[in-house]
Amino acid sequence: MIRFLAKGLLRDRSRSLFPILVITIGIAIVVLMESYIAGTLGTMYRSTAKFTTGHVKIQSRAAVAENVIGAADLSLLGNQALLANLEKEAPDMNFHERIYFGALLDVPDSKGETRFQSTSLITAIDLLTERNEVHNLNLNKSLQEGRLPEKANEILLGQIFKDYIGLDIGDQITLIGGDIDGGMAVGNFTVVGTVRFGIIAFDRSSLIMDVTGAQEFLAMPDGATDIYGFYKDDQYFYHRPQALVERFNARYSVRAEEFSPQMRMLEQQNQLEDVMVIYSNITGYINGLFVVIMGIVLWNTGLMSGIRRYAEMGVRLAMGETKRHVYYTLLVEAVLVGIVGTLIGTAVGLVPAYFLQEIGFDISQMMGGAQMSIIFEDRIRALITESTFTAGIVPGILAPLFGALISGFGIFRRDTSRLFVELEV
């Protein structure tokens, strides 16, 4: 029966070509839209994760409880053993020590006395080992002048900060802060390059150094304020690391020990849970609304196809085919058309979605010619997920089916004699 109907559709292109074409275009748009929205969410997760939260972040219980960033005296110590364990316990992730802290940046004059002074925010990451985070923070692309640090006492300054201070590449600065015990931390560092963070507050006051330089400066050779964890596939979705977080905290985090480690996933930090739920809902509504609109268009196509074939139906009824059978074949045909249109539409939509995922769309010109920064990306990217493949099913198959269901009611409302007259058979 289905074979017979499929042959009929293939041979009578007036019954199949236009509906399949409309469904293909509609579903291709739905697929592209779905992957684009998933990509936007992914970009948001990536930007937040790479600089602020990681996919998971480990801090001391005291740092979590006091909600402080960059308090050296609340750092985690003995991290090498912890990192070795984490590698075994979460093989799908990479973990990195990071140190965020504040210090007084002092620039000497020719006599070695203060010429300029400012508070500075320091991000210390692994820059020198094989497991470095250069790629994580887009440092190669964000570099504005000079080169990346090659030694522990070399630093990168925010471009605006460097210009404001009036420094040249190769100049020396002194950092003065408090070490892990609250003691005086003092060190000289050489400016070897500048970077663009992408947020004016960071560009004006931030610098980047290697984590070993910061550990030496803060007198904590095996310590860090944070340990960031990232999935190797770079993909994050809501509550993905929940099982890991629960397992880790049950094993390592001791309520009575304020310096024991505590792991939190992305949405557990900085009140991001609410932001993510709201953002996710909004994008879901947008996606849903688009699907509904496409559904109406495709339903209308189904409706039109049904109505357009009233003459054929009249003949079939006159030849003795039951109304129920005519209606049934109409529905099966609609489903066949829907399946074919959805398959082709999904395939067509995946092409630009894949392009957007892999290459992205350069928006730097729209952003006033801004280049890649550490925090923000200069490309819009899509993300193809499982739901990209299934997004077209509801509008692509159900909508034409509903169209056929409604238009087919006409068959039951008409007498055979009236159909003859009406359909001019």
Partner 1 sequence: MKKLSFVVGLLMLAGELLAGPTALEIIKKMDALQNGDNQVIVSSMIIKGRRTTRTIKSKSWIQGDEKSFTELLAPAREKGIKMLKVGGKLWIYYPRADRVVNISGHMLRRSVMGSDMSYEDMMERRSIEETYHAVLEGEEKIGERMSYRILMTAKVDDVAYQKVKVWIDKTRYITLKQELYAASGKLLKRLDTLAVMKSSKGWYPSQVRFKDVLKEGDGTEFRVKSILFDQKISKKRFQKGQLRR
> Which residues are paired to 146 by β-bridges?
193
Nearest distance, CB of residue 172 and partner 1, angstroms: 9
Which range in 15-23, 109-117, 384-392, 417-425 contacts partner 1 by CB under 8 A? 109-117
CA distance 90 to 243: 11
CA distance 281 to 394: 19
Nearest distance, CB of residue 36 and partner 1, angstroms: 46
Residue closer to partner 1 by CB (options 74, 350) is 74
Residue closer to partner 1 by CB (options 106, 203) is 106
Q: Is 91 in the site for partner 1 (CB under 8 A)?
A: no
Q: Build a one-symbol-per-residue string for 200-239: x at contacts with partner 1 by CB under 8 A, - elsewhere.
A: -------------------x--------------------
Cα torsion 349, 354, 359, 363: sign:
positive
Q: Is 110 in the site for partner 1 (CB under 8 A)?
A: no
For partner 1, the binding residue among 40, 132, 174, 385 (CB under 8 A) is 174
181 neighbors 73 (Cβ within 8 angstroms): yes
CA distances in angstroms from 3 to 7, 10, 91, 163, 317, listed in the order given: 6, 10, 50, 74, 21
Beta strands in 159-279 (DSSP E): 172-178, 184-195, 206-210, 223-224, 226-231, 261-265
Residue with tokens 């408090």: 178
Contacting partner 1 within 275-334 (CB under 8 A): none
Residue with tokens 């087919």: 408
Residue closer to partner 1 by CB (options 183, 284) is 183
Residue closer to partner 1 by CB (options 62, 83) is 62
Residue closer to partner 1 by CB (options 204, 247) is 204
Contacting partner 1 within 60-79 (CB under 8 A): 62, 73-74
Residue with tokens 């070897």: 192
CA distance 266 to 269: 6
For partner 1, the binding residue among 21, 89, 108, 410 (CB under 8 A) is 108
Instruction: List residues near partner 1 by CB under 8 A.
Output: 62, 73-74, 104, 106, 108, 112-114, 117, 119, 174, 176, 178-184, 186-188, 219, 258-259
